[in-house]
Structure 1
Amino acid sequence: MDTVTQLVTIAAVLLGGLSTYATNQLVERSKRRDSLRVRWDEKKLDAYVEYVGSVRSCIYASVLAYEVTHSIRDMPRTEHELLMDLTEAEGRRALAFERLMMLAGDRVIESAHAVNAAALAIDWRARRLVDGPLEEWRALHTEIFRAINAFHEVARADLGVSGGFVGDQHTARGLILPEQRESSAEQ
């Protein structure tokens, strides 16, 4: 073999080795990036679920407190105990919201702000900080479940989950209030 042929062979081997190395590095970087994205998506999902769960806990605590403070239901627990439960639930919601703020994008955060505002309106009624008739209390619950459903939609989009749900049938299913009774209509 002459020198030129040997140099071409060596250059081809070097070029093949370099291209294999570069390709392997690109594939590994892509795998790391995908792994990181999946890890962050898992953290986001956990944060979103924790947040909605904490909001629902606030709603449940508010309903119990409201029904006792407005003499709709009798319970062995005192009004003070129920309001302390609501305070604890509000604290968990605030912490879950902060975690969400660290992981979510603008659309999800804006939607969570709307959920917080609707949840606070319910909390304030349960604490008697704001007064109003039972019909308004029920309307606040319809609004919070609409806000939660809107949050679900933007969170699903943020996570890349296909499909979705829209419409009032989902909001109506979320209401946890008992049917209005004759005696509570005057409240």
Structure 2
Amino acid sequence: MGTFLTQLPALLGVLVGTLGTILATSLADRARWRRSQNVRWDERRLDAYVEFAHALKESHAVALRMTAHLRPGSHSHPIDREEGLARLAESDARRTIVWENLLLLGDEPTVLAAAAWRDAIWQLERLARGIVEAPEDISAQLDGVNEARDGYYRAARRSLGVRGGSVEQSAALRQALAGRTTVPAESTVRVDDV
């Protein structure tokens, strides 16, 4: 019995060490798994954000081409109404599909900003389709689309943890639309984007 009592502290030490190793390994594995899941979902979220932006930009570009005649001095290439309507229908179908991915993977602020951008483009599409009358000055509507796009990118970048300052384009686009010839050199804006 005396031998057992003298070896008991060593046995307890081995037991505590083994349990500590198991616990530490389990916690490390769990943390590693969470990190890999976060990276996985961030990648998918990025893909959903980009696909949605592409789909909306496609609709926007077609609507701009269909309304080029309403914007004197526009650099958009006019498109035949029938071809434009067909392209709008295709882009609407694509946008509907990518919207579901965005709803599934996006955070609330980004989804709300995406809906605002989508709704602003819908207003331009309604004009392109002839559902609503053309306003005297379409620039306010275009400003709304561009500001909504900026809001979407702000929210998406925040959701993904992207840093690096503002990438907003609406002010530069407004300048270009107003006919100012000077657009900031660091801007990637083209008048065609308006």
Tell me, yes or no, whether TM beats 0.5.
yes
* Partner residue, 1:96: 98
Alpha-carbon distance in 1 for matches of 2:26, 2:100 = 37
* Partner residue, 1:132: 134
* Change beyond 3 A, Cα 1:144–1:107: same
* Partner residue, 2:158: 157
1:164 CA drift (Å): 3.1
* Partner residue, 2:22: 21
Q: How does 1:105-116 map to 2 (within 5 A)?
A: 105-116=107-118
Q: Deviations 1:137-178 (Å, cap 9, x if unpaired)?
A: x32222111111111111111112223315744554365268
Q: Secondary structure at the match of 2:111?
A: helix
Q: Deviations 1:23-80 (Å, cap 9, x if unpaired)?
A: 01100010001100110010000000111111100011111222369998886x6421
Cα RMSD (Å) = 2.6
* Change beyond 3 A, Cα 1:104–1:162: same
Alpha-carbon distance in 1 for matches of 2:191, 2:129 = 20
Alpha-carbon distance in 1 for matches of 2:5, 2:118 = 75
* Partner residue, 2:178: none
* Partner residue, 1:40: 41
Q: Secondary structure at the match of 1:130?
A: coil
Q: Secondary structure at the match of 1:35?
A: helix
Which residue identity does 1:81 align to in structure 2? E
Contact 1:54 1:96 in 2 (8 A): yes
Aligned length: 176
Alpha-carbon distance in 1 for matches of 2:35, 2:46 = 16
Contact 1:141 1:175 in 2 (8 A): no
Alpha-carbon distance in 2 for matches of 1:140, 1:58 = 15
* Change beyond 3 A, Cα 1:31–1:177: closer
Contact 2:66 2:80 in 1 (8 A): no
What runs of 5+ residues in structure 1 fail to find an aligned partner? 179-187
Instruction: Note if 1:52 corresponds to 2:68.
Output: no
What runs of 5+ residues in structure 2 fail to find an aligned partner? 175-188
Contact 2:150 2:169 in 1 (8 A): no
Which residue identity does 2:42 align to in structure 1? D
Query: Relative contact order: is structure 1 or structure 2 higher (C-alpha 8 Å, sep ≥ 6)?
Result: 1
Alpha-carbon distance in 1 for matches of 2:99, 2:116 = 12
* Partner residue, 2:183: none
Contact 2:173 2:193 in 1 (8 A): no
Contact 1:51 1:100 in 2 (8 A): yes
* Partner residue, 2:63: 62
